[in-house]
Each structure stands twice: as structure tokens, then as C-alpha cells.
Amino acid sequence: MLAGPWKSNGMFATGKKLRLDFFDAPRCGRVMEDDHDLLALLCTRIGIIMEDTSTIAVTAAIMESDERARAIAEISRAISRLSTLAAAVVALSTPGSVASGHQ
């Protein structure tokens, strides 16, 4: 399952999906207009990671031991990325923070 290049949604690995979600967006290549653009991109990335990891998570219990260990490691890496992105979203969204621009 982890070795296959195709995701359940038919996209070829995460790289192609990111190109579709981020690089083909009409705003790409321009300066972001405000924090809302950045928040939208961060939240979109959170959703992508959750979607890609959910297939692994729901099938981990039926995997062989070695494959399950790799799946659990991948889930742990995803959780770490999600935590980092969520912290960035909170920092940008918290009134009074330097990042939020609402001082």
C-alpha cells in the first residue's frame, strides 16, 4: 500500500496533488494579498495530509507486521506535520500576535 504511486483519489502521489492544489491556483506567482491567503493555503495543506493519511490509518490494522510498522511511522510523520501547520494557523489567527497583524 505505501509503495504504490497512486492515491485513493486517483492522483499520482502527493507531489502531483500539491501541484494541482497550489501551483495551478490563479494567485500563484503573486504576492499573497493578506493573511487569509496564507491561512487558506495552510488549511488546504492540512486537509491534504489528513486525506492522504486517512487511507493508511484505516487499513493499518489489517497489514502485515512490517508494513504496519511503516504505516504507523508514516502516520506519526503526518501527525508531526499537522501539528506544525496547525501551530502556524493558530499563530496567524491569534489576535495580538505579531503574525496576525492585529496588535
Predicted confidence (pLDDT) per residue in 46-58, tens digit: 999 999 999 999 9
User: Can you give the pLDDT at residue 24?
Assistant: 52
Residue 40 lies in a domain: yes
Distance between CA 36 and CA 96 in Å, rounded?
Answer: 16
Q: How far is CA 80 from CA 22, 85, 87, 91, in A?
A: 21, 9, 11, 17
Residue 3 lies in a domain: no
Residue 84 lies in a domain: yes
Residue 60 lies in a domain: yes
pTM above 0.75, yes or no: no
Residue 82 has pLDDT above 70, yes or no: yes
Residue 82 lies in a domain: yes
Domain count, the chain: 1
Highest-confidence segment of 2-6, 7-11, 55-59, 94-98: 55-59
**Which residue is associated with the grid cell 501551483?**
23
Q: Which residues of 27-64 are buried (b: 16+ CB within 10 A; e: fewer)?
A: eeeeeeeeeeeebebbeebbebbeebbeebeeebeebe
Residue 90 has pLDDT above 60, yes or no: yes
Distance between CA 18 and CA 49 in Å, rounded?
Answer: 10
Owning domain of residue 48: 35-93
Distance between CA 87 and CA 62 in Å, rounded?
Answer: 32
